Amino acid sequence: MTGKKRGPMKLSDIGNTKQSSKAAVDKKSKQDSYTREKHSDNGLSEGGQSPSYQKKARVKQTPRHQTSANIEDSASTADNLASDLLAKAEGLRAQKANPLFQEGELPTETSEDEVVAGEITLIEVQKKNKKRFNVYIKGQFAFGVSENTLVKFALHKGQVLDKDFIADIQQIDKEDYAYQLAVRFLSHQLRSEKEVRAKLNEEEIEPEVMEKAVAKLKEVKLIDDTMFGQAYTRTAMNINKKGPNVIARELKNKGLGEDEIDQSMNEYDRDTEVENAYVIAEKYFQKQLRKASHRNASQKTKQYLVQKGFDSDLIQDLMQQLADHYHDEDQELAVLQKDLEKYMRRYKKLSGRELTFKVKGMLYNKGYPSELINQALEIYEEENE
């Protein structure tokens, strides 16, 4: 197929070409403008998408599980706020129900060094100790007092206190605190003066306050070392079966003087001492006889009675009686044979006279008599021939 050949371009054609190109551009521009207007009329933007669709596309979609978690967190926060509001409301109602509560400015705490004189604006019960009260002056915490101090000084709302009066109140309250502390300590059992002082010192009670508290306790007979010593002696004698020497030593450690100890020991009569010593000695001696020689059992029982606080003369008499009453040669021989077999196994590397001499020495040191040792050796040799 042959096309029509064009001739060379003339100068006049150049102008016509420019006009044609310009017309084509104008036509294209008009078409684009018409298209945009049409899309705008239809609610569409460039690209064929509506503005609302584009806006939704730009918004990041939140996963459903995250939305549920946010809802739960919001609900939990709301519940916590509601609980706090209810708690505050209950607290206000409780304060208003207290006859000591007064409307007005809320009290703020301050240290005792900053206490100033003035009018009492609030008295409230302490949270941890219902028998003590907090006193507020001009809306600020001033000091704490016991129930006794509160009643003694008739403290009440509206009462005006100066610094000297506050100092007197605090001093009396310290003394009452120390006294009540000692009373609680004495409520469990009787104590000596030394024990009470040790307790107050442990609680860091001032020396001057301690002296006044102890003096008051003595005045009402809550501290009485003579009475304490007598009661302690009766308990140790009847319940614990202790001897008089141990009891006297323990009373001395508790701070009692010689006269008070002597009066206490009068509670321990001789008959009770003999009875206690015999009961203890008999039980302990029988126990030792089951595992030791008669002589060793007697020596260990004597030592035990000395530790329990009994007199040496009484111990000697008792052990003589027990030795005569419980002397059983067959029982001692049976115990000896057990020790003999033990030493034979221990020194099995030895033999002959050397072994016999070694074992005899060990048994003799255990308190067995020579005749009984020889008898046990003969029995052992016969059984092991």
Residues 61, 315: Cα–Cα separation, whole Å: 99
The answer to whether the beta carbons of residues 234 and 272 sit under 8 Å apart is no
CATH code given to domain 114-223: 1.10.10.10
The owner of tokens 């190109």 is 21
* Tens digit of each residue's pLDDT (9 = 90 or more) over 231-243: 999 999 999 999 9
User: How many Å apart are CA 227 and CA 122, to the nearest integer?
Assistant: 46
Domain boundaries, the chain: 114-223, 224-268, 272-383
Whether this prediction's pTM lies above 0.85 is answered by: no
Q: With contact defined as beta carbons under 8 Å apart, do 193 and 214 qualify?
A: yes
Q: Tokens 């067959």 map to which residue?
A: 330
Q: How far is CA 201 from each of CA 198, 205, 212, 218, 250, rounded to the nearest angstrom?
A: 5, 6, 13, 17, 21
CATH code linked to domain 224-268? 1.10.10
CB count within 10 Å of CB 110 equals: 16
pLDDT tens digits for range 330-368: 999 999 999 999 999 999 898 888 999 999 999 999 999
Q: What is the pLDDT along the chain (385 residues), one digit of tens a residue?
A: 444 444 444 434 434 444 444 444 455 555 555 545 444 444 444 444 444 444 444 444 444 444 444 545 555 565 666 566 566 556 545 544 444 433 333 333 344 455 578 999 999 999 988 889 999 999 899 999 988 899 999 999 999 998 999 999 999 999 999 999 999 999 999 999 999 999 999 999 999 999 999 999 999 999 999 999 999 999 999 999 999 999 999 999 999 999 999 999 999 999 999 999 999 999 999 999 999 999 999 999 999 999 999 999 999 999 999 988 888 889 999 999 999 999 999 998 988 889 999 999 999 999 999 999 999 999 988 888 7
Long-range contacts of 101-107 (CB under 8 A, 24+ apart): 102/157, 104/139, 105/139, 106/139, 107/136, 107/139, 107/140, 107/141
Measured in residues, the chain has a length of: 385
